[in-house]
Amino acid sequence: MTATETIIQIEDLTKIFYTDEIETHALSGVHLNINRGEYVAMSGPSGCGKSTLLSIIGLLDTPTGGRYTLNGKEVANLNFADRSRIRNQEIGFIFQSFNLIGDLTVAENVELPLTYRAGMPSAERKRRVQESLERVNMAHRMRHYPAQLSGGQQQRVAVARALAGSPSILLADEPTGNLDSKNGEAVMKLLQELHSEGATICMVTHDPRFAAHAERQIHLFDGKVVAEGELNKLLAEVEA
């Protein structure tokens, strides 16, 4: 493993959503390289394409144009089974809207992605569920349902679910969005630990204090990656 090996390589990526008569250009030519083991924070105004980009990086959605190479393989050439396997075994998600399943308990939610892993014994799954819930201080709520938890607690369960699979790539969309500063810092500490264990992390955050935890900060504006100075200028123009 070398420090400069590119794990995520994105060239001229575009994404257009078609709804009724409207075309939304969510991504308009994104260029981005992320090295293995790197910790990147992503920011930019609401609607600029951050979640869309994370979904494509995480193989949950496909681009309209451009090229995405993950781990040296062009994603467009992967078949359905390869995509599912990579998503399940290598990628962890913390979604902006948690995506917890209401009919499952906290423990079952955390265990769910592990049940798709061929060959992981039940005892190993239970051990990981326990350990990851302990890491986010939610082990005492194992048998609760998501609706019985506060927003911040649901967020922590979503973090535990992502950690349980020991992903090599963690994609986090506003992982601290619903947390007070103490819990937000606790999540940052977990991401830092995962990072020091070698994981590649891409985190969307609006909060510069949290972004400061990353090694590199990138900024999106109108579906493109822009430099920090450029972003500030564009935002000043928008606000004027």
Residues of this chain that interact with ligand ATP (CB under 6 A) are 17, 19, 24, 26, 46-52, 96
| Joined tokens for residue 233 | 């200028």
Buried b (16+ CB within 10 A) or exposed e, 100-125: beeeebbbbbbbbbbeeeeeeeeeeb
Sequence-ordered strand ranges (E) for 143-232: 169-173, 200-204, 216-221, 224-226
Euclidean distance between CA atoms 177 and 206, whole angstroms: 9
Nearer of residues 26 and 30 to ligand ATP, judged by Cβ? 26
196 binds, among ligand ATP, Mg ion, none (CB under 5 to 8 A by kind): none
Nearer of residues 41 and 129 to Mg ion, judged by Cβ? 41
Sheet holding 224-226, edge to edge: 91-94, 169-173, 200-204, 39-43, 216-221, 224-226
The reply on whether position 178 binds Mg ion by CB under 5 A is no
How many CB atoms neighbour CB 198 within 10 A?
11
- Tell me, what amino acid is at 9? Q
Which H or E element spans position 26? Answer: strand 22-35
Count of residues in the chain: 240
Beta bridge partners of 91: 169
Nearer of residues 16 and 104 to ligand ATP, judged by Cβ? 16
Nearer of residues 4 and 46 to ligand ATP, judged by Cβ? 46
Q: How far is the CB of 94 from ligand ATP (least distance, A)?
A: 13
The reply on whether position 43 binds Mg ion by CB under 5 A is no
The reply on whether position 51 binds Mg ion by CB under 5 A is yes
Q: How far is the CB of 50 from ligand ATP (least distance, A)?
A: 4
48 binds, among ligand ATP, Mg ion, none (CB under 5 to 8 A by kind): ligand ATP
Q: How far is the CB of 53 from ligand ATP (least distance, A)?
A: 7
Nearer of residues 26 and 201 to ligand ATP, judged by Cβ? 26
Query: Phi, psi (5° rounding) for residue 7?
Result: -100, -35
Range in contact with Mg ion (rule: CB under 5 A) among 7-15, 33-41, 94-102, 226-234: 94-102
Q: How far is the CB of 173 from Mg ion (least distance, A)?
A: 6
| Joined tokens for residue 102 | 């209401």
The reply on whether position 153 binds Mg ion by CB under 5 A is no
Range in contact with Mg ion (rule: CB under 5 A) among 96-104, 113-121, 144-152, 157-165: 96-104
Nearer of residues 34 and 42 to ligand ATP, judged by Cβ? 42
Q: Which residues bind Mg ion (CB under 5 A)?
A: 51, 96
